[in-house]
Amino acid sequence: MTLSREQMAQRVAQEIQDGFYVNLGIGIPTLVANYLPAGIEVMLQSENGLLGMGQFPTEETVDADLINAGKQTVTVAKGASFFDSAESFAMIRGGHVDLTVLGAFEVDVNGNIASYMIPGKLIKGMGGAMDLVAGAENIIVTMTHASKHGQSKLLANCSLPLTGKGCIKKVLTDLAFIEIKAGKFHLIEHAPGVTVEEIVKLTEGELVVPAKVPEMKF
Amino acid sequence: MTLSREQMAQRVAQEIQDGFYVNLGIGIPTLVANYLPAGIEVMLQSENGLLGMGQFPTEETVDADLINAGKQTVTVAKGASFFDSAESFAMIRGGHVDLTVLGAFEVDVNGNIASYMIPGKLIKGMGGAMDLVAGAENIIVTMTHASKHGQSKLLANCSLPLTGKGCIKKVLTDLAFIEIKAGKFHLIEHAPGVTVEEIVKLTEGELVVPAKVPEMKF
Amino acid sequence: MAGFDKVVSSYEEAMAGLEDNMTIIAGGFGLCGIPENLISEIEKRGTKGLTIVSNNCGVDNFGLGLLLPNRQIKKIIASYVGENAEFERQMMSGELDVELTPQGTLAEKMRAGGAGIPAFFTATGYGTPVAEGKEEREIGGKHYILEHAIKGDFAIVKAWKADRYGNLIFRKTARNFNPMAATAGKITVVEVEEIVESGELDPDQIHTPGIYVNRIILGTFEKRIEQRTIQATQ
Amino acid sequence: MAGFDKVVSSYEEAMAGLEDNMTIIAGGFGLCGIPENLISEIEKRGTKGLTIVSNNCGVDNFGLGLLLPNRQIKKIIASYVGENAEFERQMMSGELDVELTPQGTLAEKMRAGGAGIPAFFTATGYGTPVAEGKEEREIGGKHYILEHAIKGDFAIVKAWKADRYGNLIFRKTARNFNPMAATAGKITVVEVEEIVESGELDPDQIHTPGIYVNRIILGTFEKRIEQRTIQATQ
């Protein structure tokens, strides 16, 4: 059984520690906020200029001047602050965000990531993704392990134009939790009901498989 | 009769236009604020983080958290703002200040200025002077025309280490108002009671003297 | 205009001096904090050949998207240009030149333009298409590319409050690119929801000092919401 | 310390981890807005071989000047180091290494350190002794030199108010270098005059977001005035 989007978010959430400042990208990363471990405090950074993002507003509290990086209306959490875009990316580029979670099309054994552009298709832009991957010390990429047609997204070399070079160390897919070290993928955990063989088959880049691969816990 | 410090300040003040943002250095430049033409509004920038510097405080209003770049206690004028040092020098370096007035040891025909360091003497530092001369479009240097020993301070080449290169276009001395253009000094006005000959004698760098040199008006 | 009073009374006056082929730096993120009436004034003037520097390009019938139907924009420098069918058409047909720039780099380029920093190194974009044609350098064992400052003939800015001297306060995430844009225009025009007398704003709480601002105009704003997202009621 | 509560209860705890030969970035301009008790704690600890990055170096018996008698400072990076006899003695004798840096460049180097910008070009210092050994470049017909970012093992900062999460508000010109210093330390320690509960500060009015701050301590301050200048009474 491959992980659902919610399970992927749930597994990523386990990596978050008390007192972390976290930037969550659009898509699965956004769902991570719903699965934070009990008893820990986290502040969400939104790169359009907000530290301490809260829940979505009610009809009564919706405010056009208060949105997140996905352009959705939001609210603020206790202790939040607003700032301009230069300051926001100073935080990101300067490595002050403890964890960044974002999606991707492809990742390779050298930690390269491709996530913003498919040649021939409409190019909408990289937004803040290039800044996030270049600045964060700690990034988790969330994506499906392979395309619908069974093509691996964990490659020896990214085939698409890069969003960042040599910056990804952790990937959470619907099949596995993988670390990238010294030019290789390392299998850290497999999803419940997914065999190591299936993971190996769908991983194009060199994958180091330890003798015993733990199953993800939820 | 050479100009007094107050007269020098008074002449410089005539160059200030309504709505100017002005940075005044320590010494004679500071006195300029006392001679602003009637009916004009000026905002004084202090590079330690204040736009809209006011008068000195009274005993009652003195505040250790409110000083100018000369470390004197001050007050704020109407419409003032505080900001950090990076923002302050963004204003200066970015050319947003309309007029900068500062002192110097020497100026030369190429617009070079030496104002912060005399080799062999104690070096206290350049403070914000290098930023001010590199960033301002419009600078007036105020200094005596020559040393007490009669040595010209308007030179063919500055002899002291530079504060800035090719950045000075106007000099107001106790003898004359001088512009620097195309590698030469140009005599614009003489001080009342000072002859053109005296000025020529005390100007080491090449000085262009027009047929008729107006006398400064106060 | 005497002294520091920067308030103008019409949008026509606010954008006076705008000419074909100028560069305009605009504040705003998505449709949040955009100078919507200044954009409408540019549409009305029909100015052509513009280079626009803005994080996004509005939507089909709002924000900077309004400048597309009459092909007023020659080039746009932006980080994300999604939600706009006419934009896509002009981009695909080559009528519109699009220079994609990472969001943080774009913000820093505007800041640098205002701050007299002509160029800076950043890791953002190293090893990506953004690095093409740019100088690369290793500093302290990490790779960087050189990015240059951006300045505009005009900057168009939306703030919440201003005093008559042009001191600005922004509100919530409508701040975004506006403070940097304000510093980077030869002429900086700001539209606001409220103008107060000089001296009424706390000097410690001003986001943008008036020195960067040339003109202030009082506006009314639609503030369209792009992704209205409401909590499920309990 | 749970969650984001960054308040510590002693100066000893505030400076825990400080070791010989570390680099400390300090806020303050002259004696205005200096972290005076954090400096005293460093004096008390007797830490040696320090590199100090600060606009000034205090006076003989106050501020960073307190670190001179026991020769705790190996090197100082500053823009102006005037008013201090012991400083002059150590500088002239070569016991103290002084790197003079223009004030605006110093502020920008600290900001760059915090913002992940490793180096930037500036016109400041071009053609002067400051340019020696630095890369020069002509950009758009103007001359610039390349300056590099500064980061510290510690940053010591004085703010006016903080909430428990480390969000900071500065007061008047005591702000100066403090916000940049706060971004540039691996460990940033802030002493303040008042600590409020999180959520009490207006999110629009925070000068330094708590993400940059590691420790907060409540202090009492002498706030010595260097040039007490009073208006002549009328």
Query: Looking at residues A47-70, what average pLDDT do you find?
Result: 96
Distance from C-alpha of C44 to C-alpha of C66, rounded to nearest angstrom: 10
Q: How many CB atoms lie within 10 A of CB D95?
A: 12
pLDDT at D63: 96
Helix (H) or strand (E) holding A151: none
Quick check: D130 contacting B, CB < 8 Å?
yes
What are the tens digits of pLDDT across the range C169-226? Answer: 999 999 999 999 999 999 999 999 999 999 999 999 999 999 999 999 999 999 999 9
Contact present, C72 and C46 (Cβ < 8 Å): yes
* C-alpha–C-alpha distance, residues B105 and C129, integer Å: 51
The H-or-E segment that residue B170 falls in is strand B170-172
H-helix or E-strand containing D80?
A: none
Q: Phi and psi for A181 in degrees, rounded to 5?
A: -145, 135
Which among C61, C55, C57 has a CA at the least distance from the CA of C78?
C55
Least confident of A118-122, C165-169, D55-59: A118-122
Strand bridging mode B139-142 / B154-155: unpaired
Name the nearest CA neighbour of A127 among A118, A110, A135, A115. A115
Substitution target in C101, C128, C139 with the highest count of A β-carbons within 10 Å is: C128
Closest CA to A128 of C176, C136, C225: C176
| Residue C63 identity (one-letter amino acid) | G
Adjacent-strand bridge partners of B171:
B141, B178
List chain B residues with CB under 8 Å of D168. Answer: none
Rounded to an integer, what distance in angstroms lies between the CA atom of residue D4 and that of residue B74? 38
The pLDDT of residue B137: 83
Question: Across the interface, do D173 and B122 touch by the CB < 8 Å criterion?
Answer: no
Contact list, C182 vs chain B (CB under 8 Å)? none
Shortest alpha-carbon distance between residue D122 and chain C (Å): 5
CA quadruple B37, B43, B49, B54: dihedral, nearest 10: 70
Under DSSP, the state recorded for B72 is: B
Give the pairing of strands C152-158 and C185-192: parallel
Residue numbers of A annotated as active site? 47
Chain D 157-186, residues with CB within 8 Å of chain C CB atoms: 169-172, 175
d(Cα D207, Cα D175) in Å, to the nearest integer? 9
CA distances from B38 to B43, B75, C22 (A): 14, 21, 38
Length of chain B: 218
Radius of gyration of chain C (CA): 18
Residues 6 or more apart whose Cβ sits within 8 Å of residue B20:
B40, B42, B43, B98, B99
Instruction: Establish how many alpha carbons lie within 13 A of residue A59's alpha carbon, considering only the half-sphere containing its beta carbon.
Output: 3
| A71 alpha carbon, distance to own chain's centre | 18
Tokens at residue A159, please? 């085939």
**Strand bridging mode D168-169 / D152-163:** antiparallel
| Residue type (1 letter), A160 | L
DSSP structure string for D102-153: -HHHHHHHHHHHHHT--EEEESTTTTSGGGTTS-EEEETTEEEEEEE---EE
Answer for the pair A125, C99: CB distance below 8 angstroms, yes or no. Answer: no
Judging by DSSP bridges, how do beta strands D50-53 and D23-26 pair with one another?
Answer: parallel
Q: From B82, which residue of chain D is nearest by alpha-carbon distance?
A: D172
Say if residue C24's pLDDT is above 80.
yes
Residue C234 reports pLDDT greater than 70: no
Residue B77 pLDDT exceeds 90:
yes
* pTM value > 0.90: yes
The amino acid present at B216, given as its one-letter code, is M
Catalytic residue, chosen from B6, B15, B41, B47, is B47
Q: Which one, of C147, C52, D155, lies nearest residue A134 by Cα?
A: C147
A44: closest CA among A6, A14, A74?
A74
Residue C91 touches partner B, C-beta closer than 8 Å:
no
Q: Contact A93/C123, CB-based, under 8 Å?
A: yes
Query: What per-residue confidence (pLDDT) applies to C1?
Result: 47
Locate the chain D residue with the closest alpha carbon to A93: D116
Neighbours of B45 (CB within 10 A): 27
pLDDT in tens, B104-137: 999 999 999 999 999 888 889 999 999 999 998 8
Superfamily (CATH) of domain C11-218: Glutaconate Coenzyme A-transferase (3.40.1080.10)
The reported pLDDT for the residue numbered A26 is 87
For residue B149, what pLDDT is reported?
95
D82: CB partners within 8 A, 6+ apart: B124, B125, D56
**What's the pLDDT tens digit per position in B177-203?**
999 999 999 999 999 999 999 999 999
What angle, rounded to 10 degrees, do the helices at C103-115 and B85-93 form?
70
Tell me if chain A has a CB within 8 Å of the CB of C123.
yes
Question: Which among C144, C169, C204 has CB closest to D118?
Answer: C144
**How far does the CA of residue C167 sit from the closest CA of chain A (Å)?**
16
Question: CA nearest A35: which of A3, A11, A5?
Answer: A11
pLDDT of A90:
98
Q: Which parts of chain D are beta strand (E)? A: 23-26, 50-53, 73-78, 97-100, 119-122, 136-139, 142-148, 152-163, 168-169, 185-196, 215-218
Angle between helices A85-93 and D103-115 (to 10 degrees): 70
DSSP run (H or E) holding B12: helix B5-13
B-interface mutation test, from D31, D117, D128, most B Cβ less than 10 A away: D128
For D190-212, letters b (16+ CB in 10 Å) and e give bbbbebeebbebebbebbbbbbb
Nearest residue on chain D to C118, alpha-carbon basis: D121
The angle that helices B85-93 and D103-115 make with each other, rounded to 10 degrees, is: 120
D65/D67 Cα distance (integer angstroms):
5
Q: How many CB pairs under 8 A join B and D?
A: 174
DSSP C176: T
d(CA A115, CA D72): 50
Report pLDDT digits (tens) over C52-104: 999 999 998 999 999 999 999 999 999 999 778 889 899 989 999 999 999 99
φ, ψ for residue C220, nearest 5 deg? -120, 145
Active site residue B47: yes
- pLDDT exceeds cutoff 70 at D1: no
Query: Does position C3 have pLDDT exceeding 80, yes or no?
Result: yes
Give mean pLDDT, residues D77-105. 92
Q: Give me the amino acid identity at A57.
A: P
* pLDDT tens digits along D114-164: 999 999 999 999 999 999 999 999 999 999 999 999 999 999 999 999 999
The structural domains of chain D, with segments of one domain joined by +, span 11-218
- Model pLDDT for residues A27-45, shown as the tens digit of each residue: 899 899 899 988 999 999 9
Q: Is D230 exposed, middle or buried (0-12, 13-18, 19+ CB in 10 A)?
A: middle
The H or E element containing residue D40 is: helix D36-45
Of C191 and C234, the structure prediction assigns the larger pLDDT to C191
Of C92, C104, C230, Cβ closest to residue A62: C230
